[in-house]
Amino acid sequence: MITTLLRSSFRRSVRPQDLDRRLVNRSRRAGAGVLVVFALVGAFMLWSSQATAHVARRAAVAQRLSDAYDDATSAASAQASLEHEYQLEPSPWIRESFRQYDLALAAALQQVSRLGASSDEAVAEHLQAQHVIFQDAVDQLFTAVDQGNSGRARQIHEQDVDPSYNVFQSVLSPAVEAVEQQARENLTSLERLESMNSRLTPVVFLSGLLLTMIMALISGGQRRQLDAARAQAVHDALHDELTGLPNRRLFADRVDQALRASQRSDHHLGVLLIDLDRFKEVNDTLGHAYGDELLIQVGQRMAAALRRSDTVARLGGDEFAILVSDLTSERTAEDVAAKLTGELSRTFSVQGVDLDLEASIGVVVNVPVNGGPADDGPVASPVRADADVVLDAAVLLQRADLAMYVAKASNLGYVVYDPGAGHQPSPVTLTLLGDLRRALDRQELLLHYQPKISARTGDLVGVEALVRWQHPTRGLVHPDAFIPVAERTGLIGSLTLHVLDMALSTARIWADAGQALPIAVNLSARNLMDEELPVQISDLLTAHGVPADLLHVEVTESAITLDPARAGRILNRLSALGLTISIDDFGAGYTSLAQLRDLPIDELKIDRSFVMTMLDEPANAVIVRSVIELGHNLRLAIVAEGVETAEVLTTLSDLHCDIAQGYFISRPLAPVDFETWRQTRESNVSR
């Protein structure tokens, strides 16, 4: 449940790069939104100004039209009154005025037909025509007045002038009325537009403002979310996903910080490395869900037993580490280790299942560079740092690892790193270790192959791969000089994988050339404690496309006795893959035969110290003979290594030993030399 919760919460958390992308997308969308709004506002403004201009133009035209009509109206009415006046008191001035108004009227009507619509044009034409009639009538009236014929004048006035004027007015009035109506409408339109403008402008302004605010809020929220996700990513990079505890990186950082602080003060610090002995069993038998919850509980229990100022970290798998940065004479690193051992030995309850664990704890304590005498330090087993080794997290962890390894091997709950007890690698060794680490990266390791032949027929039946280090200054270094160092630290893990990788690529080359030959690779005790190894080997076989029966592994008796249950599990899994398993250096250790019988073993390799001397030391000859008999009874193939003479080979053949390996047959050879050896041998045999 807890695991599920932790996992789901982890899955829910957003990676910052995703959020970055989302933020960019949203900002783009918001930007597009703003553009659309601005475009709409712009379009509205444009439309409104054009509409206003249009209406204003229309209003101006209507005004001039109305003026023209007004001019026409007043000219006509002025003419009408002049006509009256002329009847009463004729004078040339009146006639002249009348003519002037004539021109004014014509101009006004011309203006009407120019400015107005087609309807106005028609009106103007009609008015023009009507005015001509009116004018003719007035002319006749003027003539009658000039002749002094007032009766005739009155008659013309009543019968022609007045009616024609009335007709003229009846056409003009509605036109004027229409133009005025038009002007009123224009005015209303203008007013409407103006009020719409004045109402809409603040609305547009406010919505723009609102949109900007919303965008600011959204991007602010996103920014906060992004910051939170970034903080989460930093947290994730420094913490173990399952338990939420600091991971190796953060732990190393805290150790380095504590080391610096301890150099300034008199404080001592302790690093404890904890390996759970039976954890894999839980994982394998009950499943990962149980394993995961157990790890969480282990982390919680250790944290609860320690102080807040201590750091509990999970380095990976079932490996935890603890930093105690305030050791005193009251609180020694051993106290902490003893307390943890007690805590971890209490039964755990995982989903109703009671589980017992054992832990191996390696403890290391720093001594500040300016530290006082070691024997009055605050730790029970004080340790002096090497004068020429700079203490850092890596060195402390390496030492804790050595101590942890000793604790595991000796079945002690915890062991404090103590160079006096042989835990301490010499400076030379430490340099070697650093060099070796680089050697792995720089591909300075290579393999030599030593042939294994059938003791009966002499046929080549396989090779043993033996690692060599082409050191840049020291030349070719033999494994005895660096394998034990690699074994005492975690480095042997990657070294073995590297050797396996090289061996399998050679196996592939030989198989492709139609000369397939099994290659035996040596495994170390530490490899047999690494539950990942079977999977890694299986992956390598697949990667190289090499069948499992072309790979043999050699393990020593002592490697098995370190943690027989675990070693047995791993060997079973290797055997299930199809690998051949040999017990190396057999006879030199103390493996009980019963123990061997339960393991998936195919081959025994008699230790070379017996074989080399078997013709000189009768006791060794007895051992060789007994091992051959015993092995055969257990249906195991027997390999004798250290065959240095023809006599030994013959004797072994007589004793029905199956396979022989040794300098007499060949020394371990570089691949090119091995090819030559093989060809020479094959041509000799065929001859």
Binding-site partner at residue 113 among Ca ion, ligand C2E, none, CB < 5 to 8 Å by type: none
State which residue, 219 or 558, has the beta carbon closest to ligand C2E.
558
Under rule CB under 6 A, which residues in 351-380 are in contact with ligand C2E? none
Verify binding: residue 581, ligand C2E, rule CB under 6 A: no
Binding-site partner at residue 240 among ligand C2E, Ca ion, none, CB < 5 to 8 Å by type: none
Under rule CB under 6 A, which residues in 429-458 are in contact with ligand C2E? 450
d(CA 404, CA 412): 9
Verify binding: residue 585, ligand C2E, rule CB under 6 A: yes
Minimum CB separation of residue 674 from ligand C2E in Å reads 13
Binding-site partner at residue 334 among ligand C2E, Ca ion, none, CB < 5 to 8 Å by type: none
Site string for ligand C2E, 311-350 (x = CB under 6 A): ----------------------------------------
Minimum CB separation of residue 316 from ligand C2E in Å reads 22
Minimum CB separation of residue 492 from ligand C2E in Å reads 7
Minimum CB separation of residue 670 from Ca ion in Å reads 18
Q: Which residues contact 218 (CB under 8 A, 6 or more apart)?
A: 26, 30
Under rule CB under 6 A, which residues in 62-91 are in contact with ligand C2E? none
Minimum CB separation of residue 483 from Ca ion in Å reads 11
Identified binder of ligand C2E from the candidate list 158, 478, 565, 626, rule CB under 6 A: 478
Under rule CB under 6 A, which residues in 497-536 are in contact with ligand C2E? 499, 522, 524
- Coil, strand or helix: which one is 267? coil
Candidates 366, 415, 419, 379; CA nearest to 256 is: 366
State which residue, 481 or 599, has the beta carbon closest to ligand C2E.
481
Verify binding: residue 608, ligand C2E, rule CB under 6 A: yes
Minimum CB separation of residue 503 from ligand C2E in Å reads 8
Binding-site partner at residue 483 among Ca ion, ligand C2E, none, CB < 5 to 8 Å by type: ligand C2E
Minimum CB separation of residue 302 from ligand C2E in Å reads 33
Minimum CB separation of residue 247 from ligand C2E in Å reads 29
* Cβ contacts of 276-279, under 8 Å, gap ≥ 24: 276/318, 276/319, 276/320, 276/344, 276/357, 276/358, 276/359, 277/357, 277/358, 277/359, 277/360, 277/408, 277/563, 278/356, 278/357, 278/358, 279/317, 279/318, 279/357
Minimum CB separation of residue 420 from ligand C2E in Å reads 27
State which residue, 75 or 528, has the beta carbon closest to ligand C2E.
528
No. of helices (H) and no. of strands (E), the chain: 22, 16
Task: Say if residues 30 and 219 touch (Cβ distance below 8 Å).
Answer: yes
Minimum CB separation of residue 407 from ligand C2E in Å reads 22
Minimum CB separation of residue 558 from ligand C2E in Å reads 11
State which residue, 325 or 661, has the beta carbon closest to ligand C2E.
661
The residue whose two tokens read 């002319």 is 139
419 DSSP 8-state letter: G
Binding-site partner at residue 499 among Ca ion, ligand C2E, none, CB < 5 to 8 Å by type: ligand C2E
State which residue, 135 or 522, has the beta carbon closest to Ca ion.
522
Identified binder of ligand C2E from the candidate list 354, 388, 441, 480, rule CB under 6 A: 480
Binding segment for ligand C2E among 173-181, 372-380, 453-461, 477-485 (CB under 6 A)? 477-485
Candidates 281, 273, 360; CA nearest to 320 is: 273
Binding-site partner at residue 662 among Ca ion, ligand C2E, none, CB < 5 to 8 Å by type: ligand C2E
Binding segment for ligand C2E among 71-79, 106-114, 179-187, 473-481 (CB under 6 A)? 473-481
* CA pseudo-torsion sign 292, 294, 295, 299: positive
Minimum CB separation of residue 374 from ligand C2E in Å reads 35
Binding-site partner at residue 164 among Ca ion, ligand C2E, none, CB < 5 to 8 Å by type: none
Under rule CB under 6 A, which residues in 632-671 are in contact with ligand C2E? 641-644, 662-663, 668
∠ CA(4), CA(9), CA(13), 5° rounding? 150
Q: Tell me the residue type at 22.
A: R
Binding-site partner at residue 466 among ligand C2E, Ca ion, none, CB < 5 to 8 Å by type: ligand C2E
Cα-based torsion angle of the residue sequence 40, 43, 44, 50 in order, rounded to the nearest 10 degrees: 180
Binding-site partner at residue 668 among ligand C2E, Ca ion, none, CB < 5 to 8 Å by type: ligand C2E
Binding-site partner at residue 652 among ligand C2E, Ca ion, none, CB < 5 to 8 Å by type: none
347 DSSP 8-state letter: P
Candidates 463, 454, 518; CA nearest to 673 is: 463
Identified binder of ligand C2E from the candidate list 413, 479, 568, 671, rule CB under 6 A: 479
∠ CA(349), CA(310), CA(314), 5° rounding? 55
> What b/e readout covers 616-648, taking b as 16+ CB neighbours within 10 angstroms?
eeeebbebbbebbeebeeeebbbbbbbbbeeeb
Question: Which residue lies nearest Ca ion, judged by its C-beta?
Answer: 554
- Chain contacts with Ca ion (rule: CB under 5 A): 522, 554, 584-585
Q: Strand 359-365 vs strand 414-416: parallel, antiparallel, or unpaired? A: parallel
Under rule CB under 6 A, which residues in 25-64 are in contact with ligand C2E? none
Minimum CB separation of residue 412 from ligand C2E in Å reads 25
Instruction: For 277-399, list the strands marked E by DSSP.
Output: 311-316, 319-327, 348-350, 353-355, 359-365
Candidates 185, 212, 208; CA nearest to 44 is: 208
Q: Strand 353-355 vs strand 475-477: parallel, antiparallel, or unpaired? A: unpaired
Identified binder of ligand C2E from the candidate list 65, 327, 337, 466, rule CB under 6 A: 466
Minimum CB separation of residue 446 from ligand C2E in Å reads 11
d(CA 153, CA 174): 30
Distances (CA, A) of 169 to 102, 207, 518, 644: 15, 56, 129, 148
∠ CA(446), CA(485), CA(271), 5° rounding? 130
d(CA 443, CA 440): 5
Binding-site partner at residue 479 among Ca ion, ligand C2E, none, CB < 5 to 8 Å by type: ligand C2E
Minimum CB separation of residue 449 from Ca ion in Å reads 12
Task: Say if residues 23 and 224 touch (Cβ distance below 8 Å).
Answer: no
Minimum CB separation of residue 276 from ligand C2E in Å reads 25
Binding segment for ligand C2E among 256-264, 351-359, 424-432, 479-487 (CB under 6 A)? 479-487
Q: Strand 519-522 vs strand 475-477: parallel, antiparallel, or unpaired? A: unpaired
d(CA 457, CA 679): 17
Binding-site partner at residue 243 among ligand C2E, Ca ion, none, CB < 5 to 8 Å by type: none
d(CA 250, CA 238): 5
Number of residues this chain uses to bind ligand C2E (CB under 6 A)? 22
Under rule CB under 6 A, which residues in 541-580 are in contact with ligand C2E? 554
For every residue of 666-682, which 3-state class applies, written as one string?
A: CCCECHHHHHHHHHHHH
Give the orientation angle of helix 427-441 with respect to helix 491-512, to 10 degrees: 40
Interacting residues toward ligand C2E by CB under 6 A: 450, 466-467, 478-480, 483, 499, 522, 524, 554, 584-585, 608, 612, 641-644, 662-663, 668
